[in-house]
Structure formats: structure tokens, C-alpha cells
Structure 1
């Protein structure tokens, strides 16, 4: 007996593999408190996700993309991805497109802050939530959204954390992920990787494209987003909890990554 499951309008015949039996060119799927499987999956439709509340991590191509509140992520057709979040509440809008335009933009993962006009368009489109029948206005409106995306994405603004493929570097990343509050002990990290300090620095930069210090900064800011979302701490407390000795140092580091100042609301 076949045990197919329907998720976001797509049919999951087996874990991680979805098939599309919907004839519509595009549709929208919204849920108040989003619960998504955390295993990697793929589907033919391209995906535009708007994070209206909370935040999401998207694990794609050996990278972890943080998509905070009021940001969108574009995932090309057939791109394997995994989604996780520690946010208390997650409110998402998913737009699934059967095809896209032949421009370079649509072939790559894109994450950017949602401009007001796009936000209003997506919120208006929510009136078609989970409607899988044909609708002329919807078809034209969704095509306009899709066509306009490259113009809305003037500058990517997101936290992207690389994941190394070299197994020797995994204990290094795990240690930093657990001890991000403290400054780097490069000798200890080299010992965990079972290589010299110079080799560790060279191989880590080659594998991830960033330095160990930059990786620490990314992890600290990632953790700060989680703490801010909890709404239990002041910004000074958040900064201290992730390893910064002053609010100004935390704010400066946050801004350099996120291109906006941290806010508790």
C-alpha cells in the first residue's frame, strides 16, 4: 500500500523526493506556525520563501543560509535543501513556480531583505493561499512577482556560513560552535584538526573561503539572532552572551554582517 504524503501541495512518495501533480504554473502556501521536515529534500518547482516572522536556516550546497524575519530566499528548481530553525514561532509564505525566466539570477540561491513593495505584493497574494485551481489574476500577478525579483534583489543581505568538506575540520567547527563566547585558541584548534597551526589556517581558508576568525564572527552573529528572537535579553546581554565585551563592539560586528543594526523588536 502506497503511503504518499502531501506537503506544500507536493506529493512525497518517499522521504526527500517530491513529485508534482499540480498543473498550475505557480501557487502560494502559507501556515501560521511552520513545522518542516529537517531532512534534505528536493523538488522540481523553484521556491520563493518569505520569512514573515521568526527565522529559518537553509542548508544548501555545503552552506548554511540564515534567513531572518522580513527576508526572502530564492531556491532554484531541483536544488537539494534542508530547513531548520530554533525560533519559537515561524511564519512563512512559500511560492512555488513550475518555471522561471532565462536569466542568471534564477539559477542561484538568492537571499535578501524584502523591500516594502514586494512585501505588499506577497501579502496580497496570500488571498490565494493553498488554492490549486486556475485563476487568471493570480497567474498574471505571480508572473509579475517572479519577473521583478532580480530588480528587488539589489544587494544580498544574509548570513552565510560555509561548511567544510575536509573531515579534519569538522571537530574545529564543532568546537567553535560550542565555544563561540571565547576567543580563538588556535593551538587547541590545530590539535583537534591534528595538523600544524599554519596548515590549519591555510586549509580552512581554502575549504571555506574565510578565516577562522571570520568563521567565529559568523557563528557569533548567528547565535545572536537566535537570542534576539527569544525576546528575553537586552542587546547588551545578547552581545555579552555571544562573546563581545561591549554593546558597541557587538553592534559593529552585527552591522558588518547583516548590514543593519540589531533590534530587540
Structure 2
């Protein structure tokens, strides 16, 4: 039995249990899904969750809710990654639990997680731990938190993946549609259409997201000033960098740093 098959067996072994898993079990596995809904908490480091359509950035002190039977796979690039997975047998029919979303860990949720920090394994109806975790789960939709919105679309188009990989490597350089089209031997019109038809996003918006994601990684892993961060991710205008960061994250770079 493969590790992926074993993981799915453990998660879905008891259809009515709430399962708490604290080991980093899902990283770098192929796309998979569970019969239970999944609360994936990132309490340290940086994680990326990939679905068939998008790649989601999950910063420290945020969680992602993954509905049941939702194909996904987890990636990361931080050594200090600290993740908690809690799998729930869904019973509340609420739009919140039917949609994948990323949210900040609130003070209330943080305190509840701290209280249950040593819990691991399956908990069943009738267990007081089950009732506590069920309450935690049901509160998620009632906090009315704003979704974190960094979502990079993905594609299986080989040519476009080569282009986006190159953009990632040269994120600190001036990146223009015209220069990129010339580098890859296609017309500006064709490249524009490629982004719109395959990724459903403009070239400029894609580059903005790449730059903000890279800035978040640098905030997490370095002590660069906001000015240094801006230059490192290709901005010569500090105000433009800060405004773009806020547009995509609802936070200024200094606020994001303080949160970490």
C-alpha cells in the first residue's frame, strides 16, 4: 500500500470521527482528496496548496478550509513549517464549508488550538474532545473573516509554464509583456491571449501576484526594510509596492511583518 493510500485510509477510516494529525503528512504528495473536510492550519513557515485550477499561498498564522472530496496537494519551501490538520465529518450545509478559502487565525481560534495542543488521533461523538473540536469547526463560518486572496492560476500548457517559471526566476528585474514575448519568440497579442485563455488573468496581474508572494517569503525569512523589499521584488516605487501589497493581502508590508 502506498503512503497516499495509507493516508486516505487513516483519514477516512471512521466516517463519524474528527481526526487530528500533527505530523507533516501531506507535503509533496500527488493530488488527492478525502471524504472529510480538512482544516489545514499553517502556524509556522510558508505553505502552498495546489488544486487543478490554482496555487494558493498560505502564510504563517493562517488556515485553509478544504471541502470534502476536493482534490489538492500541499507544497512548501520553509524548514520551520508547522502544520496541523484536522479532518471533520461534514454535517453543516453552509456555503462557507462548501468553498475552499484561506483566512487568518483569529485570537479565539488561536486560544482554542492552544487549549487542545496535545490532542492527536480520532475523537468520536460522545467524547468531550469531539464536542470541543466540533464547536471550533462550527465557529469558523461565524467569524466573518475576510478571505486571503493570493491565488495563482495554474495550467498544463507547457509553453506557458516555461514562461511563468522564467518570470519567477527574474522577479527582481523589470518584467514587461513586450520583452517577455520577444524572449520567447511570440507576439505580444499571442502572449496576452495565452494568459487570458489559459490562466484567465492578465500578464500584469500575474506578475503582481508573483512579486507580492516573493515579498512575503522575504518578510518571513529576512530582515529587509520595506524599501529593500520593494527593490528586491522589482519595484522602484515604494508607494506602488505598498499599495499593490495591500490590494492583494488587505495588509501593508509592515502589518504583515508584525503579524508574523
Shorter-chain TM-score: what band? 0.7 to 0.9
Is 1:50 matched with 2:16? no
Give CA-to-partner distance per residue, 1:67-98, whole Å, 9 cap, x none.
11111100111212111111231112211112
How many Å separate the matches in 2 of 1:42 and 1:219? 27
Give the match for residue 19 of structure 2: 27
Residue pair 1:28, 1:125 contacting (<8 A) in 2 also: no
Give the match for residue 177 of structure 1: 168
Residue pair 1:204, 1:210 contacting (<8 A) in 2 also: yes
Greater helix fraction, Structure 1 or Structure 2: 2
Return the offset for 1:60: 1.2
How many Å separate the matches in 1 of 2:13 and 2:181? 51
Give the match for residue 77 of structure 1: 68
Query: Which among 122, 138, 145 is matched to residue 132 of structure 1?
Result: 122
Return the offset for 1:190: 2.5
- Residues 116-131 of structure 1 mapped to structure 2, 5 A cutoff: 116-127=107-118, 129-131=119-121
Cα RMSD of the aligned pairs, angstroms, is: 2.4
How many Å separate the matches in 2 of 1:218 and 1:92? 24
Return the offset for 1:23: 5.6
- Taking structure 1 as the reference length, the TM-score comes to 0.84
How many Å separate the matches in 2 of 1:175 and 1:52? 30
Give the match for residue 9 of structure 1: none
Query: Which among 206, 209, 213 is matched to residue 222 of structure 1?
Result: 213
Q: Number of matched residues?
A: 252
Residue pair 1:58, 1:82 contacting (<8 A) in 2 also: yes
Return the offset for 1:186: 2.2
Query: Which among 177, 190, 193 is matched to residue 199 of structure 1?
Result: 190
Residue pair 2:19, 2:123 contacting (<8 A) in 1 also: no
Query: Which among 69, 72, 92 is matched to residue 83 of structure 2?
Result: 92
Gaps of 5+ in 2: none
Is 1:111 matched with 2:126? no
How many Å separate the matches in 2 of 1:25 and 1:153? 26
SS in 2 for 1:126: coil
Query: Which among 29, 35, 41 is matched to residue 39 of structure 1?
Result: 29
Residue pair 2:17, 2:88 contacting (<8 A) in 1 also: yes
Return the offset for 1:175: 1.8
Give the match for residue 211 of structure 1: 202
- Taking structure 2 as the reference length, the TM-score comes to 0.86
Query: Which among 247, 252, 260 is matched to residue 256 of structure 1?
Result: 247
How many Å separate the matches in 2 of 1:27 and 1:91? 17
Gaps of 5+ in 1: 6-11
Return the offset for 1:53: 1.5
Return the offset for 1:4: 5.9
Query: Which among 139, 157, 162 is matched to residue 166 of structure 1?
Result: 157
SS in 2 for 1:50: strand
Return the offset for 1:246: 4.1
Structure 2 CA distance for partners of 1:188 and 1:247, relative to 1, 3 Å = closer
